[in-house]
Chain A
Amino acid sequence: MAIVELKNVVKNYGGHKGSKDSANAVENFNLLTEDGEFVVLVGPSGCGKSTTMRMIAGLENNTGGEIRISGRDVSAVPPKDRDIAMVFQSYALYPHMSVFENMAFSLRLKKTPNDEVKRRVNEAASILNIEHLLERKPRALSGGQRQRVALGRAIVRQPQVFLMDEPLSNLDAKLRVDMRAEIVKLHRKLGVTTFYVTHDQVEAMTMGQRIVVMLDGKIQQVDTPQNLYERPNNMFVAGFIGTPSMNFLRAKIASDRRALEGESFRFKAEGARGTALDTHTANEVWVGVRPEHLRYVEDSGHGAGLENMMRGTIEVVEPLGAVTMVQVQIDDARVTAQLDSHVQVTLGETITLACAGEKLHLFDADSEQALGLEQPVSEPLSAAV
């Protein structure tokens, strides 16, 4: 178990100036983990999350900055001496070795005595319920079983840090959900500091104690799942976390610096958000509303003038059973709303949607940074799980 610290870590593949490779693949990455924390790196493909993980593993050199594991700068330490274990997307099981030999390989290379190897492999196998598979070759295993063996191979080494690179993305949807829970359980049991890379924000939200959201090699926000959802730093994080994605509307700021208006909507900024507008110089702002925070309002015919409401034509209706998703044309944007399924709506109908004022998010029209973020209540980590 260990604290991992990344300080100004940079990765540059050293392409020619101006070429695509000349940009930093990872830029000024700073992170300090707690001992035994489960950290998820999430972002769209090419955002640098896997590169960051490979740098922690030592499979790639960091071109700048420091990587410390338990205080030791490991930047120049070869992967095998970093006391880490990694689980790969393809599982990377050695095809010609039995499950036992796969798990024992690292111990054998360290010349661990035979009974010790046996004891540790069996221990890991029993944690993962794969004792009955030990004699099989990887090709005789199902996807889920291979996944367990890959975990087992990491556990056997009793490393200070676990690294998991999209370990579930080769599994089918149902198995993925099961393994998700299982990995979280395993982490609680072993308490080893874990880095987990995924492009799936649901996976990130359900598993991570803290989540690092990345885009284009840069950290966008590091926070607990709850904070990412409630207080996204910028429009990218706001749109990336949560399904369906947050809706964004471009609004004019009225002269009272509180009312935010478009042709078919009107919002009012309250609290910290409102105060932020006092000092904000621009005349426009992005308003963000999550689909699940929109309510259907019985049309009284004059609803358009009321605060925190929008009015538009229904373009798409998708009944999902428990809820109904509707897409409504509001000015030049398509707004998705998640409505109770008992609400009867029809295609082409004009409806009014409302949103509680405290659920609104405001973003700077140019920098797309959040405005008037309340200081996150600092919660103890354990509460976030």
Chain B
Amino acid sequence: MSHSSSKREMSARARWQAWLPKLVLAPSLALVLFFVYGFILWTSYISFSASDMLPNYTWVGTHQWSRLWGSWTWGIALHNIWVFSLLYIVSCTLLGLLLAILLDQRIRAEGLLRTIYLYPMALSFIVTGTAWQWFLNPGLGLEKTMHELGWTSFSFDWLINADMAIYTVVIAAVWQATGFVMAMFLAGLRGIDGEMIKAAQIDGAPVWKIYLRIIIPQLRPVFLSAVVVLAHLAIKSFDLIVAMTGGGPGNATTVPATFMYSYAFSRNEMGIAAASAVFMLAVIAALIVPYLYSELRGPRS
């Protein structure tokens, strides 16, 4: 450790004990360095190479990147992910907060309700997609049911409507993640000092004002966590789109994740796929790195 103690005679056993922790950590670090950072470098390089079906290490500069940005589909994907993320994050946050506040009113059977709101988070996106695809099926699903019930003018064909399909994905995604956001807010609410609220009540503040002025401002860290986690889930969204719309109708619900997959594995355009993946990484890194930094900082212990 220090100069003077390293000069001292240390028994072989003591030295072994000193190295042991690092030795135990080493395999994980090696795996991560290779499979995460090595792969990031490799993919980044590929995005500047002539790779198509197979890797081709010829340097072509920003050729693949300009092809990516010139792609009509990529434009749709970016537009979709923007719309999807915005709606998804805002809806989940607001609904989650609302449910948390409602549940925080000394509700009987709170445990049961919480369990119900949160169970979709345990499901695979593929299951969610399958269920919602069926639920929103224009021929047999919700629409037909409404007709059966007598509401014959009811029409809900968003799933096969190119302009509206992305919103069905939003609905399903919100359904899945709202309970999770609710749980985060509920934990935040439970952490707020009750004395302060009692003081505000004694001051005569109405309940809605207490929430707006005192409680919600204190939930700022939860908002931050929720937005970061949701944004991260949104940008990675792949499974749900594949299961619900397959990126269709046409390519109306293509997002960067499905774009990347199809260029990588069906269109054999490895270079463009790599460029799109690097772009996704850059966006997430810009979001996650400051967040992780602020979470991990703190006093040296």
- Is there any pair of Cβ atoms, one from A and one from B, under 8 angstroms apart in the complex? yes
Beta-carbon contact of A63 and B8 below 8 Å? no
Cβ–Cβ contact B5 & A62, under 8 A: yes
- In A159-216, which residues have CB < 8 Å from any B CB? none
User: Does B4 reach chain A (CB closer than 8 Å)?
Assistant: yes
Cβ-neighbour of B8 out of A12, A14, A75, A78 (below 8 A) = A75
Q: For chain A, residues 14 to 68, give those with C-beta under 8 angstroms from any C-beta of chain B.
A: 14, 61-64
A76 on the B face (CB < 8 A)? yes
- Is B149's CB within 8 Å of the partner chain A? no
Decide yes or no whether B203 CB sits under 8 A from chain A: no
- Inter-chain CA distance A64–B6, complex, in Å, is 11
The 8 A CB mask of B13-32 against A (1 = contact, 0 = none) is: 11001000000000000000
- What residues of A have a CB within 8 angstroms of the CB of B13 in the complex? 78
Task: Kindly list chain B residues whose C-beta atoms are within 8 Å of the C-beta of A64.
Answer: 4
Q: A-contacting residues of B (Cβ < 8 Å)?
A: 1-2, 4-5, 8-11, 13-14, 17
Closest to B8 in A: A76
Number of interface residues of A (CB under 8 A): 10
Which residue of B is nearest A15, CB measured? Answer: B300
Q: What are 19 A-B pairs with beta-carbon distances under 8 A?
A: A12-B2, A14-B2, A61-B1, A61-B2, A61-B5, A62-B5, A63-B4, A63-B5, A64-B4, A75-B5, A75-B8, A76-B8, A76-B9, A76-B10, A76-B14, A77-B14, A78-B13, A78-B14, A78-B17
For the complex, what is the distance from the CA of A14 to the CA of B2, rounded to whole Å?
8
Q: How far is the CB of A175 from chain B (nearest CB, A)?
A: 30
Taking the closest CB of chain A, its distance from the CB of B56, in whole angstroms, is 48
The main secondary structure of chain B at its interface with chain A is loop
Tell me, in angstroms, the Cα distance from A63 to B2 when the chains sit together: 6
A residues at B contact (CB < 8 Å) = 12, 14, 61-64, 75-78
In the complex, what's the smallest C-beta–C-beta distance from A380 to chain B, in angstroms?
A: 37
Q: Nearest CB to that of B2 among chain A residues? A: A63
Residues of the A chain whose Cβ atoms lie less than 8 Å from the Cβ of B11: 76
Nearest Cβ distance between residue B300 and chain A, in whole angstroms? 9
Q: In the assembled complex, which residues on chain A have CB atoms less than 8 Å from the CB atom of B9?
A: 76
Q: Which residue of A lies closest to B300 (CB)?
A: A21
Tell me the smallest distance from the CB of A271 to a CB of chain B, in Å.
Answer: 46
In angstroms, Cα B5 to Cα A76, docked, is: 7
Give the CA-CA distance A361 to B8 in the complex, in Å.
Answer: 46
Given pairs A61-B1, A76-B9, A76-B11, 18 additional interface contacts (CB within 8 A): A12-B2, A14-B2, A61-B2, A61-B5, A62-B5, A63-B2, A63-B4, A63-B5, A64-B4, A75-B5, A75-B8, A76-B5, A76-B8, A76-B10, A76-B14, A77-B14, A78-B14, A78-B17
Q: Shortest Cβ distance from A64 into chain B, in angstroms?
A: 5
The 6 closest A-B pairs by CB, nearest first: A76-B8, A63-B2, A61-B5, A76-B10, A78-B14, A64-B4
A268 to chain B, nearest CB (A): 52
Complex Cα–Cα for A243 and B131 (A): 76
A118 to B2, CA, bound (A): 42
Bound-state CA distance A12–B2 (Å) is 9
Which residues of the other chain, A, contact B4 by a CB distance below 8 angstroms?
63-64
How far is it, in angstroms, between the C-alpha of A14 and the C-alpha of B4 when the chains are bound?
12
Inter-chain contacts of B10 with A (CB < 8 A)? 76
Which residue of chain A has its CB nearest to the CB of B11? A76
Q: Which residues of A contact B5 (CB under 8 A)?
A: 61-63, 75-76
User: In the bound complex, what is the Cα–Cα distance between A12 and B17 (angstroms)?
Assistant: 22
* Residues of chain A contacted by B8 (CB below 8 angstroms): 75-76
Q: Give A14 to B3 CA distance when docked, in angstroms.
A: 10
| Least Cβ–Cβ distance between B174 and chain A, in angstroms | 43
Chain B contacts for A14, CB-based, 8 A: 2
> CB-CB < 8 A to A77: which residues of B?
14
Which B residues are in CB contact (< 8 Å) with A12? 2
The CA-CA distance from A78 to B11 in the complex, in Å, is 9
Most A CB within 10 A of own CB, among B2, B5, B10, B13: B2
Q: What is the CB-to-nearest-CB distance from A124 to chain B, in angstroms, rounded to a whole number?
A: 28
User: Given the complex of chains A and B, what is the CA–CA distance between A77 and B5 in angstroms?
Assistant: 11
Q: Within the assembled complex, what's the spacing in Å between the Cα atoms of A12 and B5? A: 12
CA distance A252 to B17 in the complex (A): 62
Name the distance in Å between B60's Cβ and chain A's nearest Cβ: 46
Compute how far the CA of A61 lies from the CA of B4 in the bound complex, rounded to whole angstroms.
Answer: 10
Tell me the smallest distance from the CB of B16 to a CB of chain A, in Å: 11
Bound CA–CA A78/B1 (angstroms): 14
The chain A residue sitting closest to B1, CB to CB, is A61
Residue of A nearest to B13 (CB): A78
In the assembled complex, the CB of B70 is this many whole angstroms from the nearest CB of chain A, namely 51
Distance in angstroms from A28 CB to nearest chain B CB is 14
Q: How far is the CA of A62 from the CA of B5 in the complex (A)?
A: 8
- Measured in the bound complex, the distance between the Cα atoms of B17 and A61 in whole Å is 14
CB neighbours (8 Å) of B2 from chain A are: 12, 14, 61, 63
Residues of B contacting A62 in the complex (Cβ-Cβ under 8 angstroms) = 5
Query: Could you tell me the distance between the alpha carbons of A85 and B20 in the complex, rounded to whole angstroms?
Result: 24
In the bound complex, CA of A65 to CA of B197 (Å):
57
